[in-house]
Structure 1
């Protein structure tokens, strides 16, 4: 199988020097339109696809991002490995603004989003005990270090609904009692859907602030976040640019089974499955259906 890297993130990540045959393409999905067109091209011989999570010009809120359509669209394009790049707040002194965290766990506090491709007529249960791919996380860490980025391997991401930032009480609870390391609004249900679509998924969280718990920083200031984001964008481009050389053109089966997550996940008896839902699952679950 050939590697194809999908990157979900902000527009500043996509201005990759050396991206050959770059073209914005429209992908239709049975789950509606993705956040935007998808920029496809080749970098160092490896096909890539870049999807603006909020749409160019930042038109989607964290809640209105069409997560199912985004993951389905990447799957339809043949993506094998998804890198999520997103801004986050930090609950740890050592995870400072400008640092990157390779997330490996999530606490999902979102409540207003469709979280699964499956439903009545085709019931599926995948494991997200380990919701990110260690192989992909290792590549992201190596690329970050090669680019001179201060990177932390491993961390728990608290996914909140938003769009407001945390109260002080919430921030303290997530940090002191729940053991979260960073907080953001967009990695859920994205990571769950990637697992359902049998895509390897890695989360690169770019720290922009200390949320509201930090006694020396007070509440989150959007202008400060934007300033840090601008600096992080160049780092993110450098990290992404190093991935083709680390992942290679040829792709072996995932040693952690991400690409076989649906092997025993679908419980609905074949004769009871809803044909309309099965038609919508053609890209995501076609391998097992």
Structure 2
């Protein structure tokens, strides 16, 4: 079974034929909302809205540990995250979809690990490759099957939010090698790795990052939401194909 975590622009999954919803409890509190079960093209899928189904939970207050723990308890095959980002790299223009292969964490103060109990042995994870390579390949193959253009690779910079970045901050991120900026990539990716989940991300570029579009000084959130609404049609096409790789 495949899990999909929807971010900004995907509080619901229109292509999902819903069968039921389930309220979950975890040792780490409540997830962002009930898990929604159903089928896409006769393949079982579970969906979770990262920011809540009313999009009321800001990125720095998402209970990432509860979300991933709840999904892990279902013995899933893999987890696909859909996340909106701002594009730094020149080819990451609004409406572009990318499958990142690396991540840099700029967040702070979040509950970022399951291994924080001092009376147990210290546990480290290898985070050389933050995203599951098989999941990335399946997303790329699904995009090709769906005839949807995606960019293979890119460095995701996870910032704290909920505010957007200054132009100077974006310049620093670019010097660090960041290609796209989001607010939810961490600790979600690391927690998935701790739980042994095969995790990948579909990054949807909603806007140019601050200072990257010379014709405007400010980012229009209205325009960004319009871009997301349009681009999510292609994302759903990819999801409809990727489920074919995870047959029950």
Could you say whether these structures have the same fold, taking a TM-score greater than 0.5 normalized by the shorter chain as the test?
Answer: yes
Shift of 1:108: 0.0
1:221 CA displacement: 1.6
Aligned to 1:15: 14
2:22 paired with 1:30: no
Partner of 1:194: 192
Contact 2:82 2:201 in 1 (8 A): yes
The answer as to whether partners of 1:29 and 1:73 remain within 8 angstroms in 2 is yes
Alignment match, 2:67: 70
Task: Return the offset for 1:116.
Answer: 0.2
In the TM superposition, what is the alpha-carbon distance from 1:249 to its structure 2 partner? Answer: 2.2
Matches within 5 A, 1:1-289: 4-10=1-7, 11-12=10-11, 14-16=13-15, 19=17, 22-119=19-116, 120-122=118-120, 123-175=122-174, 177-214=175-212, 215-245=214-244, 247-249=245-247
Distance 2:94 2:224 in 1: 9
**CA shift at 1:12, angstroms?**
5.0
Report if the CA contact (8 A) 1:89-1:207 is conserved: yes
Does structure 2 conserve the Cα–Cα contact (< 8 Å) formed by 1:83 and 1:203?
yes
The offset of 1:88, in angstroms, is 0.2
For 1:58 and 1:121, locate their aligned partners in 2 and report how far apart those are by CA, in whole Å. Answer: 37
Q: Secondary structure in 1 aligned to 2:160?
A: coil
Determine the C-alpha separation between the residues in 2 that align with 1:12 and 1:113: 22
Could you say which residue in structure 2 is the equivalent of 1:272?
none
For structure 2, the 5+ residue unaligned runs are: none
SS in 2 for 1:63: helix
Deviation at 1:38, TM superposition (A): 0.9
Aligned-partner SS, 2:239: helix
Q: Which of the pair has more CA radius of gyration? A: 1
CA contact (8 A) 2:107 2:186 kept: yes
Q: Is the 8 A contact 1:91 1:213 kept in 2?
A: no
Give structure 1 stretches of 5+ with no counterpart: 251-289
Q: CA deviation at 1:244?
A: 1.7
Secondary structure in structure 1 of the residue aligned to 2:229: helix
